[in-house]
Structures are given as C-alpha cells and as structure tokens.
Amino acid sequence: MLTMIKRWRALRKRGVMGINERNGDFVLKYNNRKFYPYVDDKIITKERAIAAGINVPEMYGVIETESDIKHLRKILKDKTEFVIKPAQGAGGDGIIVIGDKFDDYRYKTVSGRLITLDEIEYQISSTLTGLYSLGGARDRALIEYKVSSDPIFSSISYEGVPDIRVIVLMGYPIMAMLRLPTRQSGGKANLHQGAIGVGVDIETGKTLEGTWLNEIIQRHPDTNNHVSNVTLPNWEGFLELATSCYELSQLGYIGVDMVLDETKGPLVLEINARPGLNIQIANNAGLAARARKVEAHLAELKKAGKPAESIAERMAFSQQYFGDSMVESLEG
C-alpha cells in the first residue's frame, strides 16, 4: 500500500488527472450528452460500428421483449459458442459466456458450469427488466460472437479474454492499458473484480508493469509469468480502431475497449464515456499532462487555420509525443 501511495504522489507531480478534473475539464467539456446513447447502449454502438466499417464481434441476434425470448432457440440453433450481455449493462454484470454445447438443452460456460436453456432464458428475462442496466431502466439482450483470445496471452492471463483500453481525446489516443483476467476476477477483464491493469507503450504496443489489487506487480499471480515487455500484435490496428471511435461516438473524451481475436484480429467491444483513472497507475504517467498537450496542439492547428487532422495524422502525433520514451520530457 505504501508503494501505491508513493506512486500516486509521484504521479501528481507529473500531470495525474483526478476525478473532478476528469469530470469538469474533459467529460463535461467534450462529451455532448445527446450522443451518450451511441456508447451507453452496446447494440447501438455495434450497429453504428458495422455501418462505419469498424470491426466488432458479429451480432447473432437481439432480444427486446419477453415475447422475443421464444426466438432464442432459433438464434442459437447452430451455435456452440456465444456471449449474451445486457445492452446497457456495466461492470460485466449479467453477461453469460458460453464455451461449448453439452446436449440439446444444456451449455457449458467458459468456467465449466453447466447451464440449461431455461436458465439462459430466465437470465435474459431478468436482463429485460433492467436488473443489470444503468439506472435500472428497461433493457435489451444482445447475443454475439464469442471472442477467441490470441495465444500470445496464454501465459499471462487466466481463463477469460484480456482486453485493451485506450483513452482517446478529440480523436488522439493518449494512454493505453491491457487488462488481464485472474482467478480473483473470475476470468473477467474487470479491474474492480480483481483483473490486472498493465500499462502499454502508445508508440510500440509493448507492455509495461502491472497493478493488481492496489499493488504494483511484475508477474501474473496465477501463471507467475512476467506481464511486462510483451509486444501486442497488430498494435497499429488497435490504435486505428481506437482513434476512429472518435468519429463513431461523436464524443471527445472516451475509453475504447478492444480485444484481440485469434482469427479476426483487433475488435472493438465497447466505448465508455466516463473511463476510469487507474490506467495512470499502470502506466506510471498522468493523463492530464497528455490531454493538455493535445489541447495545445488543437489550439495551434486552429490558430494556423489548418483543417482537422486525419486518423493517421492523429495516431502519428500520439506515438511521437506519448511513447514511453517521451514520458519524462512531457511530464517532467
């Protein structure tokens, strides 16, 4: 714990962003509330992404009402692997991840638990009532492709699928983190449930050190393998996806969550309009310093009468100024 306190104190001197600053200077300033449905509803996000040509897990079907539940068997007819999730859920609650079909009426979750079709239908019914949604509002259930994690993560992850979060300000990726499932998190890539957050060098896609349960760590607690110095495949693809989500969401300050599928490559899972701040600890760097750098750059472009930069130009700017080798010069 003392190590974590020292880390926070050091970060404050190097441009760390606090929650009030995040909310007042970035979320409220750059995120128009009328566009929140684009990211708060996973089905709307997916539909917009598909229309824009942005790679996402395939959507098998949507259950909108109780009467729609009767269509579930038809949707799942030829499926042995799939995911069911609340459209407006948060924190991973209410998600069912099926890894195999046991017989005509039972499925096996990725954790090995057998679940009947009736149980799945019951959970979908609970989802529709808003049990897992933001604010308890009526919801919809999404059935989609189950991501197969890339083998590169087999030595540094436990059971579930790791994901990559990138914070994007006005279309410029400013910080990235790999989230690794653990036994503690039940195979979910959720930091609050016990997953590991590992910083990622924006320039190279190489992992840095990790943070787990408020402690700085070097090794995965379940595999005992080092989590640092792993170069993520297709890093340029991840950055391009994250950068393009600025236009997709119409929001200026977002967290883009992506996964690396074994055969399909980088895919966007969801977009968050209020991304958390633990990413700073994993990167040993402050978000505010990088965000102010982007704001200054945008002001310079405006003053010079230059047009908005392309996705490739925004990526190049971020890789030039926010790589791990540039952290000290930017924040010192």
Cα separation, 190 vs 320, in Å, equals 30
| Percent of residues, the chain, with pLDDT higher than 90 | 76
Share of the chain above pLDDT 70, in %: 94
Write the CB contacts of 285 (distance below 8 Å, at least 6 apart in sequence): 11, 14, 15, 175, 199, 327, 331
281 to 18, 95, 131, 162, 284: CA distances (angstroms)? 12, 28, 32, 18, 5
pLDDT at 279 over 90: yes
Question: Which has the higher per-residue pLDDT, 198 or 190?
Answer: 198
The DSSP call for residue 81 is S
**Residues 190 and 91: beta-carbon distance below 8 Å:** yes
Structural contact between residues 176 and 200, judged by C-beta atoms closer than 8 angstroms: yes
| Model pLDDT, residue 254 | 98
pLDDT, averaged across the chain:
91
More reliable by pLDDT, 281 or 128 = 128
- The pTM for the full model equals 0.91
**Given the DSSP bridges, would you call strands 172-180 and 59-63 parallel, antiparallel or unpaired?**
unpaired
How would residue 114 be classed by pLDDT, with cut points 50, 70 and 90?
Answer: very high
In terms of average pLDDT, the best of 68-82, 96-110, 210-224 is 68-82
Residue 105 pLDDT exceeds 70:
yes
Measured CA to CA, the distance from residue 224 to residue 226 in angstroms comes to 7
222 has pLDDT over 60: yes
pLDDT grade for 15, boundaries at 50, 70 and 90: confident
Question: Which residue pairs from 288-293 have beta carbons closer than 8 angstroms and sit at least 24 positions apart in sequence?
Answer: 288/15, 288/16, 288/17, 288/21, 289/14, 289/15, 289/330, 289/331, 290/15, 290/169, 290/174, 290/175, 290/321, 290/322, 290/330, 291/17, 291/25, 291/26, 291/169, 291/174, 292/15, 293/321, 293/322, 293/330
Banded model confidence at residue 112, pLDDT cuts 50, 70, 90:
confident
**68 CB neighbour count, 10 Å cutoff:** 16
- What is the rounded average pLDDT of the residues 127-150? 92
Q: How confident is the model at residue 330 (pLDDT cuts 50, 70, 90)?
A: very low
Which residue reads 């790679």 in tokens?
A: 55
User: What is the chain's length?
Assistant: 332
What stretch of H or E contains 137?
none
pLDDT exceeds 50 at position 329: no
Residue 172: count other Cβ atoms within 10 Å of its Cβ.
26
For residue 119, the SS3 value is: helix
Q: Which amino acid is at 198?
A: V
Confidence of residue 134 (pLDDT cuts 50, 70, 90): confident
At residue 79, the pLDDT reads: 93
Structure confidence by residue, pLDDT tens digits, 211-220: 998 788 899 9
Q: How high is the pLDDT of residue 322? A: 96
